[in-house]
Structure 1
Amino acid sequence: MYTIKQLADLANVSRRTLRYYDQIDLLKPTAVADNGYRYYNQETVLRLQQIRFYQELDFSLAQIRKILDRSDFNALQSLQTQKAALQQQADRLNRLIDTIDNTILHLEGNIEMDNKDLFAGFDEAKQKEYAKEAERRWNPKLVRESNQRWNRLSKEQQKAIMQEGNQVYLDMVAQLDNSPNSDEVQAIVARWHQHMRHFYEPSFATLRGLGHGYANDPAFRTKFEELHPDLPDFLQAAISVYCDKNS
């Protein structure tokens, strides 16, 4: 049996994450002692591994729970499928690395490289995915609209909006011991949603993308970790819950 700390250390996740997985019925402890301590057996460890693999393949927590809770779920078949998917990613990344290496040699004058070979490894499906992501995150029209809205504001209004945003994140830090799906936390996320409307009208896909960026983009993560080390992941979880409930 593993304690929650031992499992968190083993899987390189936070104890807060494991408690949240328990709350949403994604990963229940094998046993809970009278003192509230959670304990996990080997079967639960393997389920957590499955969760981590599916996260690497960009499945949402709701999708992962649905997959793992299916009556016909087979862990061995799942691992084989995950391996194939990850191998495809690895092969594509290796092709991209080869393209980089060859381009470096080409620029150094060591080899001649056809222009077509400059784009080896950039498959069409992945390019469409990149384009869609870029459109969602950096839509020129959205950026232009945001700049226009911001520039129409006075310096006093801009300062008030920034203070409002800072207060939202400070209030979220005060809720870190609470659950991301609690009424208190979700009320703060709703305030955050309204705050973002000062800049543009965000879709739920945009909000979810921002939450992902807060936790995974190095610049965002560093900024929020200055307020509290657990804040980036907590924000992502809370925003994800908000989008699931309201979209």
Structure 2
Amino acid sequence: MAKVLVNTAVCGVGEEDKLSGGGDRRDRTLREEREIERERRRRRKRRWRGLEGGGRRWCCNQASGGSRTMEEEYVRRHHSHEPGDNQCSSTLVKHIRAPAHLVWSLVRQFDQPQKYKPFVSRCVAQGDLEIGSVREVNVKSGLPATTSTERLEQLDDNEHVLSVKIVGGDHRLRNYCSIITVHPMVIDGRPGTLVIESFVVDVPEGNTKDETCYFVEAFIKCNLKSLADVCEQLVEKAKQPDA
């Protein structure tokens, strides 16, 4: 059984309050105000959203009000997961300094995820690239899995939406389904891309929702960072004059 640790200071109750049966009300108010301000700073840094409800949360980059509104609209439109009681869900955001058509050209390649996913060593897709197609993915050694069987759920070249569901493999990610969307934006006056990836997955026995989300998010963050690196390198290479 997972242990729940409660930080009494965060709850607004300090050690002096517990010993004295309440302490000085004014001091307690000051402590509460300091904790509230610290919590606000933590939230601004991490940008977690929805941690208390249904195992769903949202991690995004620092963004201005207009960008945040745009991101929230894309999430509402395309990333509508409904996690069950024993599931967790999360949404991550990445800004890439490369045009959306370039980013999408990599993301949409269901049969070649290794072009930007660093943990994939080999991929064999069965049949044509269409809804219901299945791919067998080999994972690089050193990870808690070697294979993953994945099915293409959605591929929309107009809206730039790709959805994949894991249907087998020697890992613990059961009923895992991800959605990744690609959206054009302007970054520092140049064409850029907003990439949003979300998922829902069962919580394995012996793990908590937070542990499961943290594990999956770590992989997605690596994938999105690699996607940004590959695309931005292609942009820089295109700027170079022909030899």
The TM-score with structure 2 as length reference comes to: 0.27
Q: Which has the higher contact order (CA 8 A, sep 6+)?
A: 2
What TM-score does the superposition give when structure 1 sets the normalisation length?
Answer: 0.27
Instruction: Give the structure with the higher percent helix.
Output: 1
